[in-house]
Amino acid sequence: MALVALVAVVLALAAGLTAGGVGGELLAGLQRGLCRATGVRCPPAQHPRDQLDPCPVERTTSAESLEGAFEVLTLGGGASLSAVRMSDGRVQITLTSGETVGGTVGLGYSIGVGHGRGSTATVDVRRHFAPGRSWTLPSAAAARAFLERYGAKATVGGKAVDLFRSGCSLLCDAIGWRPHAELPPADEVSFERGVSGRFDGALGSAGLETFSDRVMGVRVGRDGSRTLYLDFDGAVGAALLSTAGLGVERERQAVAAFTLDARQRLVELSVETVARGAAAGLVQPSVGRAWARAEGGVAFVTESTATLDLRDRRNRAAALALRRTLAGRLAPRQLQRRAAAVGRQIARTGIVDRRTYALTRSDAAFGGTLVLGAQLGGGFERSHEHMRLLSAQTRLPGLPFLPRDDCRSS
């Protein structure tokens, strides 16, 4: 025990000469080892708040969407509301509204006698645009009060009421009709646009679905800082199709983001990867041309976020080269080389956060089609997701991954 204590003192002195909170992390790990060796209950480790960013401990997202289709053309809109509780007690609430336009092409055949056998394939391509606003609130109580006051704005009905209210502004002001309170100034606003593609295929009672999405966006803070990001998302799933069935899905996501300060100088690059494996059960009855669907599932989500300080000359050179490649014409080999250069800099000087979440989700949707010389259709969907942090680790430069006791969910 005396030897371990001596090593702790030496490492603490050495770590104190480095940046990024290394000393606190080393002492926390050694403290746990000492407590286990002596059988003593240790107090929770305290991490310096100015050295380690807080962890997202809990995340809840609710969304509603409404869409209509005329022949192969699809138009839609919706809104989503997410609340992220951080380990330091703050809650970030984001309200997003979106619009989509796209087209769907389907092919199919059926053969056999009796029940027969058939195959169908559908390709759906869409463009979407989604502005958003975010607010950071000091506590969970303040977040609940915010949601009670403004939460209706994230529903299709609430959006319709606000749209009607904006159209009758003078008359409604005269009669004093204000169904929803005005939102306060946002701490951050965002704008993003993207293209998504989906393929659905079915052979008998088995189904296959693939999805791909590419999004470009910008977030602008109240202080004038900006974050430019590029998001790639892909998923593949399989299901047994009938009135009721089971399905599995695997999803991968990668996000590269460049942060500029108020003077528009590059200060940080972050690269985030998300992996999700999910299992779901669904019920999808149909009567004539009307249909409905109810789905629920569970998943494990692993997030890994690497951040690189671009005030360092080498980091900045590698990041700028990657940025030029992403902004230009797609060149896979060049992109691979420059991404590898950024990866080497992250391994040398970057900070990496790794988190694992348990996710539960539910979806409900209904719709139908009507043929009056041309085919008309529409549908409504509501979804809800809840993520809870299971574990969190941080790797500081020159150290292995260390557990983040300060990020444990309470």
Q: Return the bridge partners of 86, or none.
A: 56
Q: What is the pLDDT of residue 17?
A: 41
Q: How far apart are CA 4 and CA 404, in angstroms?
A: 22
Mean pLDDT of 28-50: 57
Distance of CA 224 to the CA centre of its chain: 23
Higher pLDDT, 161 or 294: 294
| % residues pLDDT > 90 (the chain) | 35
Mean pLDDT of 44-54: 57
Name the DSSP letter for residue 142. H
Q: If you average pLDDT over every residue of the chain, what do you get? A: 81
Q: What is the pLDDT of residue 191?
A: 93
Q: How far apart are CA 335 and CA 350, in angstroms?
A: 20
Q: What is the pLDDT of residue 284?
A: 80
pLDDT band at 330 (very low <50, low <70, confident <90, very high): low
pLDDT higher than threshold 60 for residue 5? no
| H or E stretch at 202 | strand 188-203
Q: What is the pLDDT of residue 385?
A: 95
Query: How do residues 358-392 score in pLDDT, each as one tens digit?
Result: 999 999 998 887 766 666 788 889 999 999 999 99
Mean pLDDT of 318-328: 82
Higher pLDDT, 180 or 321: 321
Residue 200: name the closest of 209, 192, 212 by CA: 209
Q: How many angstroms separate the Cα of 336 from the Cα of each of 32, 212, 332?
A: 41, 20, 6
Q: What is the pLDDT of residue 259?
A: 94
Q: What is the pLDDT of residue 113?
A: 44
Higher pLDDT, 55 or 177: 55
pLDDT higher than threshold 90 for residue 243? no
Higher pLDDT, 320 or 10: 320
> Strand 375-395 vs strand 286-287: parallel, antiparallel, or unpaired?
unpaired
